[in-house]
Amino acid sequence: MSLKAKLEAVIYAAEEPVTMAQLAALFAADAFEWKAQQQAAAAAQADDSAQSQINEDFASLNPASARHAAESQSETSPENNLTGNSPELSEAEKAEAELEARRQARLRDREVREILRPLLDELIASCASDDRGVEIREVAGGFRMATKPEYHDAVRLFVKSIKQPLKLSLPALETLAVIAYKQPVTAPEVNEIRGVDSSAVFGTLLSRKLITTAGRKAVLGRPILYKTTREFLLRFGLRDVSELPSMEEFEKLAALEFEEQESATAEDSGQEANPELSFEFDSPDGEDSEDAPDESLEPESGPK
């Protein structure tokens, strides 16, 4: 199995977004092996004459490099023996060796990330260009397999056939939108923007882990600040809050949604109104049951 296929399999199988740190820890050995294979393949494609010249150069350089390595080993070995006799120097060397090991680990991790990143970019581009129903997105600091937006209707029909989706109420969505765009923000500030008390809505959003506390504002009373969570990014498929639509885009989306709701309401009311009209024409007595008493009393009261 290729390294790219392993990356795709892990991203597909994971429920949460897979971070680059996790991928680097899992596939460090595979990444270096893949790099060595790529280097070997590139070397094999070189011209035969140039390759033979390089081999001759290496052959002439190898004895010198061997002697240099032997000399450096003989020079460093007495120092190691001497430093071993000094406890203070030994502690310093241990600390320096530990720092060097950490530095090498960081460099190794960075090199692994540099190897994996182009492969992930190729995967993302491949899923985006192919006629496939899924794509790989960068969400909440990691990589996650998701359905493409153009197939959202098909997925929605399938999900509805399984169970009813859990939706937020309109006040909850309004409150969540205000927090997302104004975060960190206090509850009184949200109430002022919405024009109503949102205390109950805050409890709902907190229980669903869509928002969390972000300290206290340095004003009189020190009210609690609120912000969106990683769960919010996961639910809405966002890399970070900077991917939220602008206010103009948000207004356009809201207008489209409002038009769709109005058209749907008009269709429903038209379908329901026809039976009522036919019922009124067929049996006008039902209509007179409420209005007839008032109309019958008025003419009778005149002559009297």
Least confident of 26-40, 140-154, 258-272: 258-272
Contact criterion met (CB below 8 Å) for 174 and 144: no
Structural domains of the chain, with CATH: 3-139 (no CATH), 166-244 (1.10.10.10), 248-301 (no CATH)
Whether the model pTM is above 0.75: no
Measure the CA–CA gap between 291 and 260, rounded to whole angstroms: 36
How far from chain centre, in Å, is Cα 151? 19
Answer yes or no: is pLDDT of 183 > 50: yes
Task: Give the tens place of pLDDT for each residue, 271-303.
Answer: 544 444 343 434 344 334 334 344 433 444 444
Instruction: Categorize the per-residue pLDDT at 157 as very low, low, confident or very high, splitting at 50, 70 and 90.
Output: confident
Residues with Cβ < 8 Å from 258, sequence gap 6 or more? none
Measure the CA–CA gap between 186 and 175, rounded to whole angstroms: 11
Residue 254 confidence (pLDDT):
65
Identify which of 3-12, 90-99, 129-138 has the greatest average pLDDT.
Answer: 3-12
Residue listed under structure tokens 């927090």 = 179
Task: Give the tens place of pLDDT for each residue, 44-96.
Answer: 776 666 666 666 665 565 555 545 545 555 554 444 444 445 455 677 777 88
Task: Give the tens place of pLDDT for each residue, 84-121.
Answer: 454 556 777 778 888 888 888 888 889 889 989 998 89
DSSP secondary structure string, 40-76?
HHHHHTS-HHHHHHHHHHHHHHHHHHHHHHHHHHHHH
